[in-house]
């Protein structure tokens, strides 16, 4: 039988720290079947791993649990299911926190599922012994060069275990490092019964997930023609109206701000794009050159015609490693000759640091004058005499205490430097850890995912 149902999937978080108004308004202001929330990025996993090492009950997106306190009654009433990668490196602790919130709210009859298997931090040595090289995809370097500094290692798993969790009746599905589109593809597999070898449909789901993954970035956020976008304060987060054949309409709730046009959608499609004919995912390879987009009314764009093919035999692995320390501080230079005075202040900082006996090579120093078109250097001419500039000065290195000397020598410039120095109000900067990124591959046969469902 031809399935003409429409399944509405929305994404309310484009990253950890996105506005809580996104998910709140999505469940309050319009019809919805699934709410997805994307919290994770490469550096986030390392931060969460560090939090877990300090406290075994941490290591997940705590903002997610706080947000659920506000939306779960509505989700329960309207039958909205939630899929999020908020589990980070500790899905079990996240699940327990959610169960606690549900009990506090007095809600019953809900199932919370977690998907595990992406975190391989404790299995690296065994996997290497079994033949996995984990060479850096960008440089070809051997893992041996950073092995003793690895702080997190997570596989980008696919959509099947999310669909399995929904098949088991889950109302909330929590994953660790699943791919961003998988949060969307999982519900589509569950709802429409898509086969894991129907690569055209899986590719369509990949495109849908890619459009949704950054939240309001496809509904007018970060859009070049920003003057055309109405009411940024109440910008509508994206909703995809999906059909079983893989086609969908990208829209937003009525009476919300923002803009949905072919151009806003196309702008997001180009986001983080490598080879458009071969957009690699764990479940398929999508050909973005086959995408057909067309305006389908006000704030409605239809997407169809997506083609795909079989995935590669490997998963991508995101590893993070400790790569030294960095420090950066700012001062504001005002009045005549602001640029010249800012350059002098930078020189003075490093000269005074040297007087403390700390040597910082030129290549490890950082000096930036915001207000001289540093973001568009060589593209937009710099003003000859700006009346004010922000000096950002810092460095990187292996010695954290040595870098902290830079923080101690910024404030004295207010009284022992050129005139017009201000803006030192945020306190003395301190060195923080640099997280290095190590992309690699792993044979899919070496990765096993599990689904655990608990009911309250």
**pLDDT category of residue 304 using cuts at 50, 70 and 90:** very high
Q: Which fold has domain 320-437?
A: Alpha-Beta Plaits (3.30.70)
Joined together, the tokens standing for residue 49 give 């791993």
Helix, strand or coil, per DSSP, at residue 183 = helix
Say how far apart CA 206 and CA 310 lie, in whole Å.
13
Say how far apart CA 206 and CA 213 lie, in whole Å.
10
* b/e burial code for range 390-399 (CB count within 10 A of at least 16 → b): bbbbbbbbee
Mean pLDDT within 105-131: 97
Average pLDDT, the chain: 95
Has residue 129 got a pLDDT over 70? yes
In the block, tokens 């046969």 appear at 445
- Please tell me the least confidently modeled range out of 277-281, 322-326, 377-381, 435-439: 377-381
Output the CA–CA distances (angstroms, integers) from residue 31 to 28, 214, 241, 262, in the order listed: 8, 20, 10, 23
Mean pLDDT within 170-175: 98
Mean pLDDT within 189-197: 98
pLDDT at position 270 is: 94
In this predicted model, what pLDDT tens digit does every residue of 64-75 receive, in sequence order?
Answer: 999 999 999 999
Say how far apart CA 258 and CA 239 lie, in whole Å.
13
pLDDT at position 382 is: 85
Has residue 88 got a pLDDT over 70? yes
Mean pLDDT within 335-354: 97
Mean pLDDT within 253-271: 97
Has residue 1 got a pLDDT over 60? no
Please choose, from the candidates 11, 20, 453, 25, the residue with its C-alpha nearest in 3D space to the C-alpha of residue 256. 25
Rounded percentage of the chain residues whose pLDDT exceeds 90: 91
- Please tell me the least confidently modeled range out of 39-48, 255-264, 437-446: 39-48
In this predicted model, what pLDDT tens digit does every residue of 263-292 receive, in sequence order?
Answer: 999 999 999 899 999 999 999 999 999 999
Q: Is 360 left (phi over 0), alpha (psi -120 to 50) or beta?
A: beta
**pLDDT category of residue 96 using cuts at 50, 70 and 90:** very high
* b/e burial code for range 40-64 (CB count within 10 A of at least 16 → b): bebebbbbbbbbbeeeeebbbbbbb
Has residue 409 got a pLDDT over 70? yes
- Of the CA atoms within 13 Å of residue 286, those in its CB half-sphere come to 25
Q: Give the bridge partners for 365, in sequence order.
A: 395
Mean pLDDT within 370-386: 88
Helix, strand or coil, per DSSP, at residue 7 = strand
- Rounded to 5°, angle at Cα 15 from 14 and 18: 80
The alpha-helical segments, DSSP class H, found in 157-198 are: 160-167, 182-192
pLDDT at position 343 is: 97
pLDDT at position 430 is: 95
Q: If you ran DSSP here, which 8-state letter would residue 238 be given?
A: P
The structural domains of the chain, with segments of one domain joined by +, span 7-118+156-312, 320-437
> What are the two backbone dihedrals, phi and then psi, of residue 24, each rounded to the nearest 5 degrees?
-60, -50
Cβ distance 207 to 308 under 8 Å? no
Say how far apart CA 212 and CA 240 lie, in whole Å.
8
Please choose, from the candidates 444, 401, 389, 451, the residue with its C-alpha nearest in 3D space to the C-alpha of residue 127. 444
pLDDT at position 198 is: 98
pLDDT at position 31 is: 96
Say how far apart CA 309 and CA 312 lie, in whole Å.
10
- Of the CA atoms within 13 Å of residue 323, those in its CB half-sphere come to 13
Say how far apart CA 9 and CA 212 lie, in whole Å.
9
Mean pLDDT within 13-17: 92
pLDDT at position 390 is: 96
* Helices 199-212 and 182-192: angle between axes, nearest 10 degrees: 130
Sign of CA dihedral 269, 270, 273, 275: positive
pLDDT at position 44 is: 87
> What are the two backbone dihedrals, phi and then psi, of residue 395, each rounded to the nearest 5 degrees?
-165, 170
Please choose, from the candidates 220, 325, 209, the residue with its C-alpha nearest in 3D space to the C-alpha of residue 272. 209
Contacts of 419 (CB under 8 A, 6+ apart): 335, 341
How many CB atoms sit inside 10 A of residue 317's CB? 23
Sign of CA dihedral 266, 270, 275, 279: negative
Cβ distance 297 to 128 under 8 Å? no
Helix, strand or coil, per DSSP, at residue 40 = coil
Helix, strand or coil, per DSSP, at residue 41 = coil
């Amino acid at each position: 039988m031809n399935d003409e149902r429409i399944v509405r999937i929305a994404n309310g978080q484009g990253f950890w720290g996105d506005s809580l108004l996104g998910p709140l308004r999505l469940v309050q202001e319009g019809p919805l079947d699934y709410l997805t929330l994307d919290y994770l990025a490469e550096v986030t996993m390392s931060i969460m791993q560090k939090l877990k090492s300090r406290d075994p009950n941490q290591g997940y997106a705590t903002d997610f649990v706080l947000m659920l306190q506000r939306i779960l009654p509505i989700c329960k009433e309207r039958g909205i299911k939630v899929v999020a990668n908020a589990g980070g490196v500790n899905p079990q602790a996240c699940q327990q926190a959610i169960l606690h919130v549900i009990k506090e709210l007095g809600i019953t009859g809900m199932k919370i599922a977690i998907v595990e298997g992406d975190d391989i931090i404790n299995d690296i040595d065994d996997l290497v012994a079994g033949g996995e090289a984990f060479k850096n995809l960008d440089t070809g370097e051997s893992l041996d060069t950073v092995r003793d500094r690895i702080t997190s290692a997570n596989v980008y798993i696919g959509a099947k275990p999310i669909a399995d969790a929904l098949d088991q009746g889950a109302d909330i599905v929590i994953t660790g490092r699943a791919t961003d589109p998988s949060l969307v593809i999982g519900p589509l597999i569950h709802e429409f019964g898509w086969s894991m070898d129907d690569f055209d449909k899986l590719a369509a789901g990949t495109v849908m997930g890619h459009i949704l993954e950054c939240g309001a970035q496809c509904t007018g956020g970060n859009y070049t023609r920003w003057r055309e976008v109405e009411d940024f304060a109440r910008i509508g987060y994206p909703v995809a109206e999906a059909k079983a054949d893989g086609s969908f309409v990208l829209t937003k709730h009525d009476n919300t701000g923002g803009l949905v046009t072919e151009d806003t959608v196309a702008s997001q499609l180009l986001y983080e794009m490598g080879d458009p004919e071969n957009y690699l995912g764990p479940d398929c390879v999508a050909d973005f050159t086959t995408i057909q987009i067309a305006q389908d009314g006000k704030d409605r764009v239809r997407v169809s015609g997506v083609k795909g093919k079989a995935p590669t035999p490997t998963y991508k692995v995101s590893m993070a490693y400790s790569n030294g320390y960095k420090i950066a501080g700012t001062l504001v230079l005002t009045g005549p000759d602001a640029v010249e005075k800012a350059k002098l202040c930078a020189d003075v900082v490093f000269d005074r640091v040297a007087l403390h006996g700390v040597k910082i090579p030129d290549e490890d120093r950082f000096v930036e004058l915001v207000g001289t078109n540093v973001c568009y250097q060589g593209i937009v001419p710099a003003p000859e005499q700006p009346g004010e500039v922000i000096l950002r000065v810092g460095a990187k290195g292996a010695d954290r205490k040595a870098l902290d000397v830079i923080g101690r020598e910024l404030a004295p410039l207010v009284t022992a430097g050129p005139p017009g120095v201000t803006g030192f109000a945020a306190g003395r900067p301190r060195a923080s850890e640099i997280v290095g990124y190590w992309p690699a591959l792993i044979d899919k046969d070496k990765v096993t995912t599990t689904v655990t469902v608990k009911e309250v």
